Amino acid sequence: MRDGVPIARTEDTSYTDEFAIGRHIYQVIEQLADDNYTLSNERTVILRAPYAMISPVELAAWQNLKYSLEQSPTVGESHSGTAVLVHYVGRKYPVAETSEFEDSTLTFDVAFKTQEDEKTFQALLGEIVCYKNKLGRMIIGLLSGVSVESDRWYSKCSCTISATDFQEEIEYE
């Protein structure tokens, strides 16, 4: 369990939590020989990425995104709520009808030294991916846009990931 939420089931003696970053509290639920269950002690872990990384969510296959053409690469975040402005008879101004829905996007630039690395990255376009970086930012969503500029040494990709609802929680048996 991560932070009280069951996220995986395994019969192995270890488990790698691929889709987390930052401080989390982990516990293991173990089935005993008499079919009862026991809960382990809590363990607080701080997960960090050595540099930016991206992976398809279906299969944790991380690609390191360690290069940038900027000395200090920037990552942009955009968050917006959903609202509709409705005009009613007898009112001068519209009324805002809001909802609980949100949209979030993350933009970043990355550079590749080889065409092979660039093609591996571009193959993720249109896929649900997990992006995380050494600043502790993480997003799971659709790699919805990639634009490329190339020179003799590098290819620079400007990217957009649109957050999607990723439910990692599993059911108990």
pLDDT of residue 37: 87
Instruction: Tell me the one-letter amino acid at 51.
Output: Y
Helices (H), 60-124: 115-122
The H-assigned helical ranges of the chain are: 115-122
CA–CA separation, 117 and 150 (whole Å): 13
Measured between its terminal Cα atoms, the distance across the chain in Å is 14
What is the C-alpha separation between 50 and 32, in angstroms, rounded? 38
CA gap 94, 97 in Å, rounded: 9
Distance of CA 172 to the CA centre of its chain: 24
Chain centroid offset of residue 12 CA: 25
Please tell me the distance from the alpha carbon of residue 164 to that of residue 124, in angstroms, as a whole number: 15
Would you identify the CATH topology of the domain 49-163?
Elongation Factor Tu (Ef-tu); domain 3 (2.40.30)
3-state secondary structure of 118: helix
Parse the chain into domains and list their residue ranges: 49-163
The pLDDT confidence band at residue 173, using thresholds 50, 70 and 90, is: low
CB atoms near residue 65 (< 10 Å):
24
Q: What is the pLDDT of residues 138-156, one digit of tens each?
A: 999 999 999 999 888 899 9
53-93 pLDDT, tens digit per residue, is: 999 999 999 999 999 888 777 899 999 998 899 999 999 99
Q: What is the pTM of this model?
A: 0.84
Place of tokens 């053409």: 69
Q: What is the pLDDT of residues 154-163, one digit of tens each?
A: 999 999 999 9
In this structure, what are the phi and psi dihedrals at residue 70, rounded to the nearest 5 degrees?
Answer: -105, 145
